[in-house]
């Protein structure tokens, strides 16, 4: 069930009317339901205990969201030094943090080691050697897992598939034993785990089963060769409903985990991201104008592709709901919902059946809590939008909209351009 619904004709998060938030904060604006995030986290706890839950914070790295999850006991899966520092600043304990990613720099690896995080997931032979060199130089032992590429097609979009042999992630599963043998002879390394992640927005359990079965076979091979494997990082990818998808059943996922790797005696790590925050967020926007042409009806809103890029990048669907419930029996007509960005691709929906809308009306783009604000930009000189967190009957701005002067202050004009008449 969505955390946003109509109360007395107005779309609300619990008892808080979204129109009231728009009136105070302005539009565009992201709104997240803390209660919905907590409920989603508790669902994972109930289904997967005693697995360690490390939130994939690339989905939404807002500090307040991270602090909320930290308070619930979550760890974090980070993919950059910036995310690592955010996780630590939000109060996530370093021993609950996993550092993933295919392109870690030496500086990022050093920061991770100095922070004392749980595990670094290495994704290539060169990274294994770099981690050894850096750890030995710091007189530390790095706890590491080898991310394998199981060559399993998750059946999702090409852009978010990560476990095929043509994808950039991980080490080919059949090359892992040789790399483990090499790593065992290197200083500063404790290769304790196997990591795998096959893609995002999965709804089918079978790809997980194939990948985990390959992981289990690899663990047995490595142990037979003397390796000590005590942790399995099984990644994430748990799908949600955007349009007509059936969300991945967590109870079924838990059964697959138990059947395929449960007998190995390893600690299990899972990395949900979208599933925790996606349904808990909406993007509020205001209709600027409705433009009628002989071919199309364009509903032009004040949110743009710089605020929510998923429809333009992936062809993704987001339900669009008016904040004021349409009158009973209101006729719907097809419309293209577009933003103000100077790009033809700045289109959220094409020929979407919508009720009557006029300038000034408010709408919400649903399931926007993941990969919305996190992927936003300032293209066309548009400031990043504010983020609001709702808990019960109150709401708070958890990231303010920066002013234009604030944005300009980040840039400098060199002296040789600041003098009148100087062009180079």
According to DSSP, the residues that pair with 396 across neighbouring strands are 389
Residue 342 among the catalytic residues: yes
* pLDDT, tens digit, 9 for 90 and up, residues 163-199: 445 556 678 878 888 988 899 899 999 999 999 998 8
Residue 161 has pLDDT above 80, yes or no: no
Instruction: Confirm whether 148 is domain-assigned.
Output: yes
393 lies in which domain range?
4-30+278-408
What CATH number corresponds to the domain at position 234?
3.20.20.10
Instruction: Confirm whether 343 is domain-assigned.
Output: yes
Using N-to-C axis directions, what is the helix angle for 81-89 and 106-115, rounded to 10°?
Answer: 20
Helices (H), 229-269: 250-261
Instruction: Confirm whether 335 is domain-assigned.
Output: yes
Segment 398-402 mean pLDDT = 97
Among candidate residues 147, 94, 140, 148, the one with its CA nearest the CA of residue 122: 147
Instruction: Confirm whether 340 is domain-assigned.
Output: yes
Segment 205-224 mean pLDDT = 93
Q: Say how far residue 306 (Cα) sits from the centre of its chain.
A: 17
Q: In what order do the strands lie in the sheet with 10-13?
A: 4-7, 10-13, 16-17
Same domain, yes or no: 161 and 187: yes
pLDDT level of residue 418 (50, 70, 90 thresholds): confident
Instruction: Confirm whether 376 is domain-assigned.
Output: yes
The answer for residues whose C-beta is within 8 angstroms of residue 181's C-beta and 6 or more apart is 225
Candidate from 70-74, 166-170, 244-248 with smallest mean pLDDT: 166-170
**pLDDT of the residue at 158:** 45
Instruction: Round to whole Å and give the CA distance between 143 and 352.
Output: 50
Instruction: Confirm whether 330 is domain-assigned.
Output: yes
Same domain, yes or no: 219 and 240: yes
Q: What share of the chain is helix, strand, coil (3-state, %, to 5)?
A: 35, 25, 40
Task: For residue 367, count other CB atoms closer than 10 A to its CB.
Answer: 25
Instruction: Round to whole Å and give the CA distance between 248 and 211.
Output: 16
Same domain, yes or no: 113 and 262: yes
The answer to whether residues 163 and 199 touch, using CB atoms and an 8 Å cutoff, is yes
C-alpha dihedral, 366 to 368 to 369 to 375, nearest 10°: -170
Instruction: Round to whole Å and give the CA distance between 170 and 218.
Output: 14
**pLDDT of the residue at 164:** 43
Instruction: Confirm whether 351 is domain-assigned.
Output: yes
* pLDDT, tens digit, 9 for 90 and up, residues 36-48: 999 999 999 999 9
Instruction: Round to whole Å and give the CA distance between 237 and 365.
Output: 22
Same domain, yes or no: 259 and 363: no
CA angle 238, 60, 116 (to 5 degrees): 90
Same domain, yes or no: 286 and 248: no
Same domain, yes or no: 134 and 169: yes
Same domain, yes or no: 259 and 319: no
Residue 288 has pLDDT above 90, yes or no: yes
Among candidate residues 126, 222, 227, the one with its CA nearest the CA of residue 173: 222
Instruction: Round to whole Å and give the CA distance between 3 and 5.
Output: 7
What CATH number corresponds to the domain at position 342?
2.40.37.10
> 115 phi and psi, to 5 degrees?
-80, -20
Among candidate residues 107, 114, 225, 237, the one with its CA nearest the CA of residue 169: 237
Same domain, yes or no: 288 and 253: no
Residue 89 has pLDDT above 50, yes or no: yes
pLDDT level of residue 156 (50, 70, 90 thresholds): very low
Same domain, yes or no: 224 and 192: yes
Same domain, yes or no: 243 and 154: yes
Same domain, yes or no: 260 and 298: no
**Which of 171-175, 209-213, 257-261 has the highest average model confidence (pLDDT)?**
257-261
Catalytic residue among 266, 342, 366, 422: 342
Helices (H), 92-249: 106-115, 125-137, 176-184, 206-224
C-alpha dihedral, 322 to 324 to 325 to 331, nearest 10°: -60
Among candidate residues 42, 49, 196, 195, the one with its CA nearest the CA of residue 118: 195
Same domain, yes or no: 220 and 253: yes
Instruction: Confirm whether 90 is domain-assigned.
Output: no
Q: How many domains does the chain have?
A: 2
């Amino acid at each position: 069930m969505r955390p946003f619904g109509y109360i007395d004709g107005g779309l609300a998060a619990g008892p808080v009317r979204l129109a009231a938030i728009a009136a105070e904060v302005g539009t565009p604006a992201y709104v997240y339901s803390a209660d919905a995030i907590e409920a989603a986290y508790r669902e994972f706890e109930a289904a997967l205990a005693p697995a360690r839950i490390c939130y994939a914070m690339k989905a939404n790295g807002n500090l307040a969201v991270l602090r909320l999850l930290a308070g619930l006991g979550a760890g974090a899966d980070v993919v950059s030094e910036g995310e690592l520092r955010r996780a630590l600043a939000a109060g996530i304990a370093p021993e609950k943090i996993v550092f993933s990613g295919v392109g870690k720099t030496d500086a990022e690896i050093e920061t991770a080691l100095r922070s004392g995080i749980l595990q670094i997931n290495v994704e290539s032979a060169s990274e294994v050697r770099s981690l050894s060199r850096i750890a030995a130089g710091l007189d530390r032992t790095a706890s590491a897992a080898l991310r394998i590429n199981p060559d399993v097609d998750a059946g999702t979009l090409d852009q978010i598939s990560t476990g095929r042999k043509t994808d950039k992630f991980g080490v080919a599963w059949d090359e892992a034993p040789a790399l483990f043998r090499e790593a065992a002879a290197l200083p500063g390394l404790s290769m304790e785990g196997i990591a795998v992640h096959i893609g995002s927005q999965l709804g089918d359990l079978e790809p997980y089963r194939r990948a985990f079965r390959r992981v289990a076979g690899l663990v047995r091979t490595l142990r037979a060769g003397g390796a000590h494997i005590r942790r399995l990082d099984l990644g994430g990818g748990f799908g949600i409903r955007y349009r007509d998808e059936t969300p991945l059943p967590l109870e079924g996922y838990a059964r697959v985990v138990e059947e395929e790797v449960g007998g190995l005696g390893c600690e299990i790590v899972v990395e949900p991201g979208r599933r925790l925050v996606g349904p808990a967020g909406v993007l509020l926007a205001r209709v600027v104008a409705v433009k009628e042409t002989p071919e199309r009806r364009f509903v032009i809103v004040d949110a743009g592709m710089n605020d929510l890029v998923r429809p333009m990048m992936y062809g993704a669907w987001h339900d669009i709901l008016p904040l004021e419930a349409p009158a009973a029996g209101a006729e719907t007509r097809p419309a293209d919902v577009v933003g103000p960005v100077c790009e033809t691709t700045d289109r959220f929906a094409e020929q979407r059946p919508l009720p009557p809308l006029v300038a000034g009306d408010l709408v919400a783009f649903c399931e926007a809590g993941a990969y919305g604000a996190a992927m936003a930009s300032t293209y066309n000189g548009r400031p990043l939008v504010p983020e609001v967190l709702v808990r019960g009957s109150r709401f708070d701005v958890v990231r303010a909209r920066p002013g234009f002067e604030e944005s300009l202050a980040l840039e400098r004009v060199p002296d040789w351009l600041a003098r009148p008449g100087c062009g180079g």
